[in-house]
Structure 1
Amino acid sequence: MKAYFSYWGKSGEDNGACHLLPYHSLDVAAVGYQWLQHDEDLRNFFAAALGLSPQATAAWLTFLLATHDLGKFASSFQDLRADLVSRFGRPEGRFKYRSGLNQAGHDSLGYGFWTGELLPALQKRFEWGGRSQSILNPLLAATTCHHGRPPVSVRTVQPDFTPQDILAAHHFASDAERLLASGVLGGLSDLVGCGDAIAMTRRASWWLAGFAVFCDWLGSNQDWFCYRDEPMALDGYWNEHALPAADRAVSGSGALPVVPGPLLGFPELVNLPNPTPLQTEALRVPLGEGPALFLLEDVTGAGKTEAAFVLIHRLMSTQRARGFYFALPTMATANAMYRRGKAIYGKLFAPAGRLPSLVLAHGKAHLDRRFTDTLVPMNSVPETDYLEEPSAGSHCAAWLADNRKKSLLAHAGVGTIDQALLAILQSKHQCLRQFGLLGKVLVVDEVHANDAYMHRLLCRLLAAHAAAGGSAVLLSATLPLAMRRELVAAFNTHAQYPLGAPASGEYPLLSAVLHDGLREVAVATRPIVRRTLHFKPLRSLPEAVQWVVGHARAGACVCWIRNSVADAIEAWEALARLLPAGDVDLFHARFALGDRLEIENRVLDRFGRHGATNQRAGKVLIATQVVEQSLDVDFDVLVSDLAPVDLLIQRAGRMRRHVRDRRGGLKSRGEDERPAVPMAVLAPAAQGDIDEAWITGLLPRTARVYPDHAQLWRTQVLLEAGDPLRVPEDLRAWIEAVYGPDAVAAPQALQVSESRVLGERRSHDSLGIGNAIALDRGYQAGGPGWWAESRTPTRLGEPTATLRLLRWDGAELGPFRAGEPWAMSEVVVAERSVAAAATPANSEVASQLAVLVTQWRHAYVVPVVLTKAQGGGWTGAVSNGEGTATIQYDSCRGLEVQ
């Protein structure tokens, strides 16, 4: 019996069951082999990236995957199950196994064995030169370090490996080579001798790492790969067990590519009769050759979402892409886009055969019934003609949806931009997300809303996506010229197309980055979305309240967008005293998730496209920035606290968004019949003596939310100039008047905040560069270290904490939202307000809480026990670092820390 049959690779909990290491190694290799047989595009991608033939590429990668767990031959790892070591008759080792983010686990030990033991032997055998180590090391790191992080430095495999371990690992690698890659390794001389080989393998290693993680996860699934602990010849196991099981696994995963559908006409695709001007340009703009970038800048209501789907469809139908990921700024906007995408995504794929998966990708997707109801068991992915079965709805294989790390592997995805940015950050399993985006069209909405840090990360993501041949579509209301230039330059980092810098001042604008240059196409505007916005100044809170009340009593539906939760609650309280009960809704981010989702749905039902006249008339919504982006809501009258000009324009898009009659009923054609009401803006005057407290006096919380007070002042100058904002003619000029290099100088008192914010932006930009992966360095860690996913910053800002609300009924402690998952009772707040949980005074409450906390050991939450308050609502306590803070919660008001 070969010595390598005395090593276990996978084990049961405590029942003595195990799967031999050589078998598990072949299982993972078989998954990779079968996937490459089913997926010609992926095989060709790796072949082109490595400069090898497709056949040699498949054999070479299969062999690498077979050696992915060489580190498990180390006695330090084997001793984790001393019972199995004893059962196989081997002595225990003498060195303690190490694992963790900065420890050399079996993955890094495998890399150390490859580079220190196996590779030198192959170099000698095939007479590869000294460069071969630098050329092959990135690929070895990618396959051995298959747990989502690059290798930790391993200077020597001893003492983890005993001499017997080293010999067994060598023998297994030799037998695996004969079985899987006979004659192929010698052919690697072409790769080793290529002048660009180091750059090629370093770049390819990032996607190979994701492929290796994917294969290991599938190859470790007992639903497909049964444990076997009796020795048999490797070729027999490979042909009789590994290959058949792997074929079932890749077919059942729900991630195999689905054939794109034929080109459809515009009405068939989006279920609209005629395209808008922007959609018309999307239908006819050249696609070019190779990766392409499209930037769509247009007003609200111009049909940017449908135009993006037109471009996705054209790219897919011409075999330029095979799926998409639609990235939104928030979970609320992602949920709304998911509802819209469900009606379109199936038409992008061939009408017969395997169903494509549509995944909702964000931290709370598992709580959205619209998504979870579409999941099907992973071993029962159906084949059907779904175009003839419209009731089938969207579909997602459960294996893809059970973990956010795998969500981008679905054929179609809608989610937050964070899930896409994690593909470029130094975060655990970043490579799996990057692999998931391969071959997809990346669509990013509300690009103008990104701060300096997220903008830099998006630039890095675009560069990496283009390097792998991926195309992207960016959607925005208006982009400052400097930001547009940076996005174009980032995409062109590796493509190296002959481009000039973007220069057009036209608006609306479609910009296309193609192999033969940059095209900037001015887009016409439909009369229906042309508008002239007048602005009314409001100088005090009582004046704003009376403005809202007057219009609501006249039958209009009104929205007041406030800049902070506390301000929103303050306005809601004032209006609730003056208007009938139930007529004033409050919507902000500091509700328990279950309450927030209910409010979001109520807002969309009442103020969305199909809201009935009697639902809307006289109703008021007080909201924060949660309604600012991408939510399809429409109000007769809009009030806003002062905000930077681009955000005010975005907010204005929520006023008279749809075409309605005088009573607010939706019209299918014609002009809007509602009276034109100016957008009211609560702000101090921009004229007179301006001191540092200019914004603080009237809107102190706004001063903290938008710390560049010079930008606020420039915005207010535009509003007070008396000229209306003509949409779209004036949009570009207004944006540049606040953000452009020729913007008017702010008063001296406000330049302090401007300089401070400018310094912070530069710092955040540098931080984005430092936190992102460096493609050209190959699959290795760099910068501050490889973070755990839950701690990887996709956004900067004030640190937050998640409060988990519990309800004490006098006898039992449970979720505040009884009968629902714990996440439905969670609220995110500023970390400075809540340092830790408070110790309950009631001993029974403390005892039950202690039991629950042990069950939440992997959750980063602060538990808050709530009891019924005398005046209504619920009350609890937390520690704020200086003492005890009181928590007040009400399902109508949300959460407040006092």
Structure 2
Amino acid sequence: MALTVAGMSSDHAALAVLWGKSNAGGQPNLLLQHLLDAAAVGELIWDNYLAVHIKRWLDGVTGGRGRSFFALLCGWHDVGKASPAFQCKVDHLAQAVRAAGLTWRRLDGQSMRWHHTCAGAVIIESVLREAGWSRDAIGWVWPMVAGHHGLVPPRRDVFHAVGRFRDAQGHGAGWQASQAALVHAVVDQLGVDLPGLAPLQTPRRGAQLGLAGFVIMADWIASSDHFVGVFRLSDVTMAEARKRAAKAWATLELRGGWGDAPYQRVPDLVAVRFGKAARALQAVCVEVAEQMAVPGLLVIEAPMGEGKTEGALAAAEVLGQRFGFDGIFVGMPTQATSDPMFDRVLRWAGRVDPGLPVGLLHGKRMFNSRWNALRQSTHFAGIDDLGCEDEFALADQGRNVRATHAPAEWFLGAKRGMFMPITVGTVDHLLYAATRTKHVMLRHAGLAGRVVVLDEIHAYDVYMSQFLHEALRWLADAGVPVILLSATLPPQQRESLMRAYLQGVRSARDVELPSLEESAGYPVLHALTATGDPVTCTSRTATPWRATGRVAVQVLQEAPGDGPEAVVELLDHELRTGGCALVIRNTVGRAQRTYQALADRWGADEVILLHARLTVAERAARTQKALDLLGPPDEGRSRPHRLIVVATQLAEQSFDVDADLLVTDLAPIDLLLQRAGRVHRHLRPGRTRPPKVYVAGVRTQPDGPPAFPRGSEAVYGRYLLLRTAALVTEAVTAGGWSIPAEVPDLVRRGYDTLPIVPGTWRPATDAAYEDWQAEQRTRQHAAQQFLLAGESKLGTPTLAGLHDRPSGEAPSDDELAAVVRDGPETVEAVLVRQVAGRYLTLGGRSLGPTGDVSDNTLAEEVVGSTVRLPASVTEAAKTLEPLPGWYGNAWLHKARALCLDDRDSAILGGRRLTYHRQLGLLEDKA
């Protein structure tokens, strides 16, 4: 059905001049064309991307008309551009609008603040009221229009404020008729009955937030360079818009997850996906997922090395296929733990669907070899005109075939990573979804059709847990199933996580959680579901994969100066005839000093140092070397005669190495047990050395509590260290720990409030407890100011006012990460050498007088020299800028360069920073 100008009334004639894009492929684009393009893209998102779960609830609230309703929402998103505040922005286009009879007074600066998102909400509210839609229906729909630029305003800032912006909104019969005509033109072109399309009910707020993200997705695609401007109304038709959208969709190569095939039970899903018969825990994971009545929360607690990951992936597939979810997001505590998980998920995805796009989300993903292989094969389809950056700008643009599992280029633009059907990344990306930041709905759209899997869930402190709890509330509100994994989860933490999820299900702050049997066993699974009023929490145990064994525990007394001599002496004795040891220190400085002493004793070839102040390329290479040398025995690895890995907490989680003995600084009991999980991690034939754990970083005192290194207390606090020291002291007397049998009880006692320390420690422990409690309250309060909504907003029916409190985008990834991870803000810099007026890489390759990196290989080497700077120089580091030759480079144009002299040193913020090839970044007073 074509639209023509001849014989039109003035309000319809206005459609021929109201513009939406001033420059779309070299020419302006009519506003109606852009709206129809977005509606057509919405239809394709429905047909080719949305998970069945999302379609079901949209059909449910619209009486089976979800596709038309969604397309209409997408088509309405920009109707507010039919207002003077927008139409006056480009002079020659504004003249045509005026000539059509749509005039306005001169707008002052205040009037120009009236954004087209607010104008659109006012227009939609008026038209829908005239169409007979209910107040409730209008109440949740207008925020979809008002929020399509990433911020949802409160009702007062739209409908109460419009009176102050009458000139900017467009008052008078001509403007109002033209605005209504635009809305109805989209309705007519889609061939829907507007009164009959009114929603029958209000969807849950979590679902609304994801829907708002999909509207933005449609807008961004329809705003890309694939949609050339059309400025003749007779050429504007829905049929043509659908052709344009189909061509763009095919070029962008977008697709959803594994589809909507009905779930078919197989005898052993784990064996099908991973090539090995399911262990008892893994089989129970599948069984519980098959028995859950509705999507819910599944908590898997099992020993280190038990196979939790495989069980969780199998359970996620079952839940997804049963309830209409078609992908997963796997969140890990750190970048270092994300990389090996990505490799495992990549292999699993190939068994589920060989064509599934798989993404990796963290800032240093370019140094993951498998991700790089996908990156090199990604078809470059062109990026949109929204200023979104893409790290693939350096890739070969001549390819036209996307390799298996390679994500479409569009998914790799800014803020789009969560849209990939299968995604592994740092948990930060989930926690960002719990923050009140611009475009937060994009993250929720990416999660809406996925099963969320979070590993190492014990690793989140009280500050991060506030964001995790908020994320769980929103995921539950949207009906998204969540799987949590941990080997050492304190009961209090498990209860708080389950309570947060149930709050989301109930949309209420006060909920009653069913009691759990703490003596249920280990490994154990807890499944939380709620159907109507009943809340069901089922606990299932499984037989451990391997029998409980005794791990010897001893305290390693160190000198008061915290020197590494005691560790060197111990390992000199333990490894004299060979063996592999893991040494974990709580601070970078202690790790560096220990490595230096051990390298002096054994030679650098037999010692590997890992910590966060290595360049990213060096850290990735050393991590891979450690995994290759000390990984599982069934992958053809040759184990070294002798090797010592010295690391910080990087080796604490998801670090699949198998050591003969562990030397570790004291840490809270759950983390200490995680570290112990690297000892005898795998069944290795012929091993005769018994497992041993030596606990350092604790100096016992004859008449009082032990002393700890200052760095350890700064990281973990004195209270938890004292309780763990008491448990370690018990273990020394008892001859060690029985692992995994004793793990749940040890963790419970470590975090319980019942006294466990000796009497002479009591006064110091009580004082430390008071300090710890006060700090916990302070950190909890500090996090709550950044939460997306918080407990007080549970039960709010719509998204109106979601960004009512001060909000905005964090200006950098570092600052956004600082929001969800409590601690001093740090900054990354790229290290280059500056010698005789020329720039060199750390490896000595010339970058010329401007730092030019036009060669891709050279650019990767430069980026690989990125290092995180100490917190003490953060403010000074913010003044660092890219080298002149980096501007225009997709990887480096925003990077900060730290120029080192010929001794690899620089003065920054009153500190001397030196990069040592073996030790990493060193810091001293200038």
1:284 aligns with 2:287: yes
Partner residue, 1:245: 244
Tell me, yes or no, if structure 1 residue 652 matches structure 2 residue 654: no
Which residue of 2 is the match for residue 214 of structure 1? Answer: 217
> How big is each residue's C-alpha offset from its partner over 1:168-199, in whole Å with a ceiling of 9 and x where there is no partner?
433312322333364233552x64xx6xx4xx
| Residue 443 (structure 1) aligned to one of 439, 444, 453 | 453
**1:58 corresponds to which letter in structure 2?**
R
Match of 1:554 among 570, 574, 577: 577
Instruction: Output the CA distance in 1 between the equivalents of 2:79 and 2:206.
Output: 24
Rounded to whole Å, the distance in 1 between the matches of 2:460 and 2:221 is: 36
- Relative to structure 1, the CA distance from residue 676 to residue 367 in structure 2 (aligned partners, 3 Å threshold; closer, same or farther) is closer
Match of 1:788 among 795, 806, 810: 810
Deviation of residue 80 (structure 1)?
Answer: 4.0
- For 1:140, the equivalent position in structure 2 comes to 142
Q: Which whole-Å deviations, capped at 9, do the CAs of 1:465-521 have from their partners, x for residues lacking one?
A: 222222111110121111111222222224359961223232221111234621112
C-alpha separation between the residues in 1 aligned to 2:125 and 2:869? 52
**Two-structure CA RMSD over aligned residues (Å):** 3.3
* Structure 2 counterpart SS, 1:30: helix
SS at structure 1 position matched to 2:41: helix
Identify which of 500, 515, 518 aligns with 2:514.
500
- Work out the percentage of aligned pairs sharing the same amino acid: 25
- The count of aligned residue pairs is 830
Give the distance between the partners of 2:665 and 2:751, measured in 1 at CA: 19
Over 3 Å counting, the alpha-carbon distance change for 1:854 and 1:221 in structure 2 is closer
**How far has the Cα of 1:20 moved from its partner?**
2.0
* 1:424/1:688 CA distance change after superposition, 3 Å: same
The answer to whether the aligner puts 1:569 opposite 2:592 as a matched pair is yes
Cα distance 1:857–1:824, how it changes in 2: closer, same or farther (>3 A)?
closer
Shift of residue 340, structure 1, vs aligned partner: 1.1
Question: Which string of whole-angstrom CA distances, capped at 9 and with x for unpartnered residues, describes residues 678-717 of structure 1?
Answer: 21111334553336xx434xx221121112x121122112
The aligned residue for residue 852 of structure 2 is: none
Is the 1:804–1:862 Cα contact (8 Å) retained in structure 2? yes
Report what 2:118 is aligned to: 111
Residue 301 of structure 1 deviates from its aligned partner by: 1.5
Q: Any residues of structure 2 matched to 1:49-88 within 5 Å, and which?
A: 51-55=61-65, 57-85=66-94
Quick one: which amino acid aligns to residue 305 of structure 2? G
Gaps of 5+ in 2: 6-12, 383-400, 559-563, 846-857
Match of 1:321 in 2: 325
Shift of residue 719, structure 1, vs aligned partner: 1.5
AA partner of residue 681 (structure 1)? V
Please report the TM-score for the alignment, with normalisation by the length of structure 2.
Answer: 0.83
User: In the alignment, is the contact (CA less than 8 A) between 1:864 and 1:877 conserved in 2?
Assistant: no
- State the alpha-carbon separation in 1 of the partners of residues 631 and 414 from structure 2: 29
1:44 partner letter? K
- Say if 1:762 and 1:468 are closer, same or farther in 2 by CA, change over 3 A: same
CA distance in 1, matches of 2:317, 2:205: 32
Shift of 1:18: 2.3
Post-superposition offset of 1:894: 1.0
Residue equivalent to 1:309: 313
List gaps (5 residues or longer) in structure 1.
Answer: 381-390, 663-672, 841-845
Q: Please give the alpha-carbon distance, in whole angstroms, between the structure 1 residues aligned to 2:788 and 2:491.
A: 26
Task: In structure 2, give the amino acid aligned to 1:547.
Answer: L
User: In the alignment, is the contact (CA less than 8 A) between 1:36 and 1:43 conserved in 2?
Assistant: no
- Residue 84 of structure 1 and its aligned partner are, at CA, apart by 4.2
**8 Å Cα contact 2:258/2:352 also seen in 1:** no
Equivalent-residue separation in structure 1 for 2:870 and 2:106 (angstroms): 48
Q: Which one of 752, 755, 780 corresponds to residue 767 of structure 2?
A: 752
Q: Is the CA contact (8 Å cut-off) linking 1:467 and 1:494 kept in structure 2?
A: yes
1:797 and 2:823 aligned: yes
- More divergent stretch after superposition (552-561 vs 768-777): 768-777
Q: Is the 8 A contact 1:356 1:411 kept in 2?
A: yes
- Closer, same or farther in 2 for the Cα pair 1:748/1:814, shift >3 Å? same
Aligned to 1:514, the other structure's residue is in SS state strand
CA distance in 2, matches of 1:811, 1:287: 69
Of 11, 15, 18, 1:4 maps to: 15
User: How far off its partner does 1:635 sit?
Assistant: 1.2
8 Å CA contact 1:686–1:713 kept in 2: the answer is: no
Contact 1:138 1:201 in 2 (8 A): no
Q: Are the equivalent residues in 2 in contact too, given 1:279–1:304 (CA < 8 A)?
A: yes
* Aligned-residue offset at 1:633: 0.9
Q: 1:625 to 1:137 in 2, by over 3 A?
A: same
1:622 aligns with 2:661: no
**Letter of the structure 2 residue corresponding to residue 560 of structure 1:** V
1:761-798 per-residue CA deviation (whole Å, 9 max, x = no partner) reads 22333444443323643322144424337343222112
Cα gap change, 1:705/1:204 in structure 2, threshold over 3 Å: closer, same or farther?
A: closer
- Tell me if structure 1 keeps the 8 A contact 2:81–2:120: no
Deviations 1:840-862 (A, max 9, x none): 9xxxxx9x946757989997754
- Mapped to 2, the partners of 1:126 and 1:216 lie a distance apart of 25
Q: Is the 8 A contact 1:254 1:378 kept in 2?
A: no
Deviation at 1:642, TM superposition (A): 1.0
| Counterpart residue type for residue 280 of structure 2 | P
**CA separation in 1, counterparts of 2:359 and 2:51?**
24
- In the TM superposition, residue 615 of structure 1 has moved relative to its aligned partner by 5.2
CA–CA separation in structure 2 for the residues paired with 1:498 and 1:684: 41
Equivalent of 1:395 in 405, 421, 424: 405
Match of 1:670? none
Match of 2:437 among 427, 430, 435: 427
Structure-to-structure mapping, 1:17-416, within 5 angstroms: 17-38=27-48, 39=50, 41=52, 44-47=55-58, 51-55=61-65, 57-85=66-94, 94-95=106-107, 106=115, 109-115=116-122, 117-123=123-129, 125-127=130-132, 132=135, 135-151=137-153, 153-154=157-158, 155-156=161-162, 157-163=165-171, 167-180=177-190, 182-188=192-198, 191=200, 197=202, 200=203, 202-223=205-226, 225-232=227-234, 234=236, 237-239=237-239, 241-250=240-249, 252-259=252-259, 262-264=264-266, 265-266=268-269, 268-285=271-288, 286-349=290-353, 355-375=355-375, 376-377=378-379, 394-403=404-413, 405-416=415-426
- Aligned to 2:152, what secondary structure does the other structure show? coil
CA contact (8 A) 1:263 1:317 kept: no
The 8 Å contact of residues 635 and 657 in structure 1, kept in 2 or not, is answered as: yes
Aligned ranges for residues 492-641 of structure 1 at < 5 Å? 492-496=502-506, 500-505=514-519, 506-515=521-530, 517-527=536-546, 530-540=548-558, 541-610=564-633, 616-641=640-665
1:42-62 CA-to-partner distances (Å, cap 9, x unmatched) read 56344356x32122x333332
Q: Is the 8 A contact 2:121 2:145 kept in 1?
A: no
Checking the alignment, whether the CA contact within 8 Å between 1:377 and 1:397 is kept in structure 2 is: no
Q: Distance in 2 between matches of 1:40 and 1:887?
A: 50
1:108-139 Cα deviation digits (max 9, x unpaired): x3333432x4423542x34556xx1x642332
Check whether the contact 2:127–2:180 (CA below 8 A) recurs between aligned residues. Answer: no
The amino acid across from 2:238 in the alignment is W
Q: Specify whether residues 44 and 11 from structure 1 end up closer, same or farther in structure 2 by C-alpha distance, changes over 3 A only.
A: same
Distance 1:254 1:34, change over 3 A: closer
2:901 maps to 867
In the TM superposition, residue 799 of structure 1 has moved relative to its aligned partner by 1.4
Q: Give the Å deviation of 1:79.
A: 4.3
Cα distance in 1 for partners of 2:423, 2:536 equals 30
Larger displacement relative to structure 2 (431-440 or 310-319) = 310-319
8 Å CA contact retained: 1:292, 1:471: yes
TM-score (normalizing by structure 1): 0.85
Q: For 1:642 and 1:849, how far apart are their aligned partners in 2?
A: 43
* Secondary structure of the corresponding residue to residue 591 of structure 1: coil
1:63–1:176 Cα contact (<8 Å) kept: yes
Letter in 1 for 2:502: N
What letter is aligned with 1:220? S
Asked if 1 retains the 8 angstrom alpha-carbon contact of 2:295 and 2:323, the reply is no
How far does the alpha carbon of each residue in 1:608-661 deviate from its partner, in whole angstroms, 9 at most, with x for none? Answer: 225877652222111000111001111112100111111110001111112224
Describe the superposition over 1:7-41 as per-residue Cα deviations: whole angstroms up to 9, x where unpaired: 3322449x952222211111111111233244572
Secondary structure of the residue aligned to 2:827 is strand
Give the corresponding residue for 2:738.
726
- How far did residue 206 of structure 1 move? 0.8
The verdict on how the C-alpha distance between 1:744 and 1:859 changes in structure 2, with shifts beyond 3 A counting, is: farther
Aligned: 1:887 with 2:913: yes
1:739 has 2:747 as partner: no
Going from structure 1 to structure 2, the CA distance change for 1:849 and 1:250 (only over 3 Å counts) comes to closer
SS in 2 for 1:512: strand
Contact 2:658 2:678 (C-alpha < 8 Å) held by counterparts: yes
Q: Which moved more, 1:398-407 or 1:454-463?
A: 398-407
| Cα separation, partners in 2 of 1:894 and 1:875, compared to 1, 3 Å | same
